[in-house]
Homo-oligomer: A and B are copies of this chain.
Amino acid sequence: MRVDIGNALAAVAQPGVDRNSLGSLDDRVGRAHDRIERGIDDREFGYAALGLPAEADPGAIREAVTPVEDSEAVLTVGIGGSALGAATLTEALVPERFHGVLDNVDPAHTNRLLADLPLAETAVHVVSRSGTTAETLANFLVVREAFEEAGVDWTQRTVVTTGESGPLRDLADDQGLPALDVPEGVPGRFSVLSSVGLVPAAIHGVDVEAVLEGGRAGREALAPSLFDSPAYAYGAVAHALEVRGAATNVMMPYEERLESFAEWFAQLWAESLGKDGLGQTPVRALGATDQHSQLQLYRAGRHDGLVTFVRARERPGCPIPQTDVEALSYLGGTDLGDLLDAEFEATEASLAAADRPSVRIEVDRLDAAGVGELLYGLEAACVLAGELAGVETFTQPAVEWGKRAARGLLGGGDFEEADAVAGKERLTVDADSDGSDRD
């Protein structure tokens, strides 16, 4: 992984980091690095995630997926950190086999997905640490029934990843399902390099060991200076830009099969750093597509953002045929990849020309090792940014309120949060009625 922070310097962009400020920033990186290393060594909560590449057990994963190896499709049933890592790895490494994950409780969507899938050839990977996540377990109950109705034995097609105890663990024990562990001390959004993220890729034949090898390369590249460590260069500059006014962070890969990756990053960044009134709002984008959708704003809107570009230096080609249309003759005989590269370079330069900061992250190839290194690098960058911001990187306390309210509304217990829903302030404007309904 290479990181180029040249376009995030104050000489180029506003907000930007002055070259003279990089020294004191680097002192802080050094201290944070020590803290992170200690956390990894001691397997402290959260920090333990950065130890996963050395500790994950590809043999156990291979064994667990043996009964469903080479399934035509994999249906991951999970939500948030229990789904996005799996989606990221599968879409990046076996895009032709990726058909989304079951990570929502939209009835029409669940019905459609189950109607589309060849159930007899579909593996189910159900993921929930607690084994009680409402969305995941509700969907799993529906999935199980769909298999039964189709006459397919779901117990032969299901792999479970869950915590040490809970309803899913009990189910796996009762039914003799292959069951893997959600790793101890690793929050969901940092669990991509464990069975949580790796199982669907393994079912599709991805070389899981190579993904972990990429992660280990990322681990070895951590160093006490941002000038020596690409991941820390990114994390440190993103933090420095945030405190200088970059309240949004646009993740814009120039690779179609990194769409899920951008979502994965958005969770990593938002849940880890979005607290205490701090944190950049992650914005998912895609190059070159969003040049025709978002670039106007990124160049001419508020000076409150950082754009993070990600691309692979090598990729397969797709030649553009010659044409006798004169206005298009400059395209003929080149490759779609040349066009994509030119647009990438042009967009990066166009932001700099408008004094907008960007950072460029590159990997050699989007193969198993390259993706593993990229994911690890961004996790490390996030942990560093959390250290520099001084927040509790590994918790997400703000989501609990809504979970209790929802459960109360569903009659799953007595929660005072549910009462707040009834007390909602309304000011409804309805075209069908005579004027608005003001409370």
Contacting A321 at CB < 8 Å: which of B142, B278, B397?
B142
Shortest CB distance A231–B (Å): 8
Interface string of A407-439 (1 = CB under 8 A from B): 101111100011011001111111110011001
Q: How distant is the Cα of A317 from the Cα of B110 in the complex, in angstroms? A: 10
Is the Cβ of A144 less than 8 Å from the Cβ of B302? Answer: no
Contacting A343 at CB < 8 Å: which of B276, B353, B406?
B406
List, in ascending order, chain B residues with CB within 8 A of A401's CB. 299, 350, 353-354
Shortest CB distance A430–B (Å): 4
List, in ascending order, chain B residues with CB within 8 A of A296's CB. 270-271, 274-275, 396-399
Q: How distant is the Cα of A272 from the Cα of B429 in the complex, in angstroms? A: 24
Contact flag A339-B229 (CB < 8 Å), given A142-B318, A266-B294, A353-B401: no
Q: How distant is the Cα of A154 from the Cα of B215 in the complex, in angstroms? A: 46
Shortest CB distance A17–B (Å): 10
Quickly give the copy total for this chain: 2
Q: Which of A142, A325, A336 has the most CB of B within 10 A?
A: A336
Shortest CB distance A6–B (Å): 4
Contacting A230 at CB < 8 Å: which of B170, B257, B278, B430?
B430
Q: How distant is the Cα of A330 from the Cα of B205 in the complex, in angstroms? A: 38
Q: Size of chain A's interface in residues, with CB distance under 8 A?
A: 158
Interface pick from A53-61, A78-86, A193-201 = A78-86
List, in ascending order, chain B residues with CB within 8 A of A275's CB. 296-297, 300-301
List, in ascending order, chain B residues with CB within 8 A of A267's CB. 292-294
User: Top 9 closest A-B pairs, CB basis?
Assistant: A274-B297, A80-B292, A107-B318, A330-B412, A221-B431, A274-B301, A346-B405, A109-B256, A350-B402
Is A156 part of the contact surface with B, judged by Cβ < 8 Å?
A: no
Q: How distant is the Cα of A349 from the Cα of B221 in the complex, in angstroms? A: 44
Interface string of A278-303 (1 = CB under 8 A from B): 11011110111101111111111111
Is the Cβ of A427 less than 8 Å from the Cβ of B342? Answer: no
